[in-house]
Amino acid sequence: MKFDIELVGKVGSMALIDKQNNDIDYNVIARISRELRPGYLWVTSGATEIGRLDYIHRNGVELKGDDNDIKTDYAAQGQSILLETYRRFVNASYSIRQFLVEHQHFNDPMKCEHLKNALLRCPMQCAIPIINYNDPVCSEENRKMEIQSLRSKSKKVVECIDNDETASQIACLVKPKNLLILSGVDGIFTDMNDKSSLVKTISGKDIYEVIEHIEYYQNYCDGASRKGANGARAKLEYVKEPAKLGTTIYIANSKYGINDILNEKVPCTKIGIDIK
């Protein structure tokens, strides 16, 4: 099977935060950044939380007011810090390019094609895309109205509720060999209180069987790592479409290196057709 991109990867907000010191976890971003190379597309959360921490460090208090306004202000403050931190640790011989996307870029065929072509040019130009949802300019109320309007015209609508969905939609655009979803846990568990219940593979002889098995393990998924996140059940829902294209999906812990995960040297959940 031919793939256009080697890897689409995504890391969650909480994986990038040093909770003990209320700061960016520079070790995690540095380790990720040093493994990024042309042919990898990286979807990163973290702008809002990093912006919040930066604001607190500078002002001693959190912002008060409307939740949507606060999210906008924090995200706008955090975006530049997040990108600068990646730039600091990515191999200096590689360019990095920021792509801020919204649901409309996946629901409008012309915008979708433009984004796809821009992303596919990056490996040929020795550049690494750093992708995030464009929170600073997308209000929740307006997004819901736009999604409702789209649903009246089409059954299939992309919302980009969080960056797990964004990464899966990017994977559907560029058809990567691998899709890597990093978070704060080792993968999918049938019992989060029992580390031995890690589901190492979700596989099948064809895509119909893979989807059937994904839906079986969704029944064990509950909870999320933070307010606004959708948890493991949603992760499994989002990866169905990339799996249909033949992409192999890894759900793993951000404490592990990308190469170690792809080479299956560390615990993770691997999803795909006829895998072992």
* Of residues 187 and 162, more confidently modeled: 187
Number of domains making up the chain: 1
How, if at all, do strands 248-253 and 268-273 pair? antiparallel
For the chain, give the percent of residues with pLDDT over 70: 88
For the chain, give the percent of residues with pLDDT over 90: 75
Q: CA 187 to CA 239: how far, in whole Å?
A: 13
What pLDDT is stored for residue 61 in this prediction? 97
User: What three-state secondary structure class fits 8?
Assistant: strand
Mean pLDDT of the chain: 90
- CB 40 within 8 Å of CB 179: no
Q: What ranges in the chain are assigned the alpha helix state H?
A: 26-35, 47-59, 67-89, 104-107, 109-124, 140-151, 163-174, 207-218, 231-238, 240-244, 258-262
- pLDDT tens by residue, 3-40: 999 999 999 998 999 989 999 999 999 999 999 999 99
Q: Is the pLDDT of residue 147 over 90?
A: no
Sign of CA dihedral 220, 224, 225, 230: positive
Would you tell me how many other CB atoms lie within 10 Å of the CB of residue 117?
A: 11
Quickly state the pLDDT bin for 87 (edges 50, 70, 90).
very high
What pLDDT is stored for residue 64 in this prediction? 96
Instruction: For residues 126-149, give the mean pLDDT.
Output: 73
**CATH number of the CATH domain containing 12:** 3.40.1160.10
- CB 119 within 8 Å of CB 173: yes
- pLDDT tens by residue, 207-259: 999 999 999 999 998 654 444 445 899 999 999 999 999 999 999 999 999 99
* Of residues 275 and 167, more confidently modeled: 167
Asked whether the whole model's pTM tops 0.75, one would answer: yes
Of these ranges, 99-103, 156-160, 247-251, 272-276, the one predicted with the greatest mean pLDDT is: 247-251
Instruction: For residues 161-177, give the mean pLDDT.
Output: 93
Domain that holds residue 143: 5-273
Quickly state the pLDDT bin for 44 (edges 50, 70, 90).
very high
Q: Is the pLDDT of residue 103 over 90?
A: no
Residues paired with residue 7 on neighbouring β-strands, in sequence order: 40, 178
What pLDDT is stored for residue 145 in this prediction? 55
